[in-house]
Chain A
């Protein structure tokens, strides 16, 4: 429940805006959505402005997507809220993610 996934086509690639919670119950929805989108996406931007929190189930999808997009046009995250940033810090994800706030 309670993850909203919004897709906005951009000049280069696609922007995916997430709102709500990215956890065990919602991560499969995002994974399925990305499986449809990524083959056609040159580059990917995640807009996390309205993401309340992320658990390791969500990190798994972010990591998988990062691995896939790094072989293409890349992946960046924008508008990362404080609580989500805390999780990226704790897990060392900050070291390999491209975060532009």
Chain B
């Protein structure tokens, strides 16, 4: 199901392409810079892949809302309650040999957005990311 600002689908491994294409078309239409487009795509890949792999959700949606000089990205899924804003920060000062990749995705999302808010309501995880589009 898709309208101008929103896409709803079964979050499986085949869903990434539809989500990427939706964002690409929508952001292009709004004249969002390539730099911000790339950030939005990276952040979405991190959040969406968590939903696909860990949530057990059977339905997930992504809604986009431009608001002045910011862009709001809203994710909703009917999977297990999971608050990504409570995830621990990874240590980004370790050497390659000491590194693991755990937690890096959410760390990137935090750094690329100006706000990240989570709530569980109506049986859904609701996560909102705010991007600066100036």
Interchain Cβ contacts within 8 Å, total number: 74
- If A90-B107, A92-B92, A92-B93 touch, whether A56 touches B101 (CB-CB below 8 Å) is yes
Main secondary structure on B side of the interface with A: helix
List which A32-58 residues lie within 8 A (CB) of chain B: 52-57
List which A71-101 residues lie within 8 A (CB) of chain B: 82-83, 86-87, 90-92, 95-96
In the assembly, what is the distance between CA of A92 and CA of B93, in Å?
Answer: 6
Of the residues B35, B45, B92, contact of A24 by C-beta under 8 Å: B45
Residues of B contacting A70 in the complex (Cβ-Cβ under 8 angstroms): 96-97
Most buried by B among A1, A54, A92: A92
Q: Could you tell me if B38 and A83 are in contact, using CB atoms closer than 8 angstroms? A: yes
- B39 → A minimal CB distance (Å): 7
- A93 → B minimal CB distance (Å): 8
- A60 → B minimal CB distance (Å): 4
Of the residues A24, A83, A96, contact of B39 by C-beta under 8 Å: A83
In the assembly, what is the distance between CA of A71 and CA of B13, in Å?
Answer: 34
| 23 A–B contacts from the bound complex (CB under 8 Å) | A21-B20, A23-B45, A24-B16, A24-B49, A25-B13, A25-B17, A55-B42, A55-B46, A55-B49, A55-B105, A55-B108, A56-B101, A56-B105, A57-B105, A63-B101, A67-B97, A83-B35, A83-B38, A90-B92, A90-B108, A92-B93, A95-B95, A96-B96
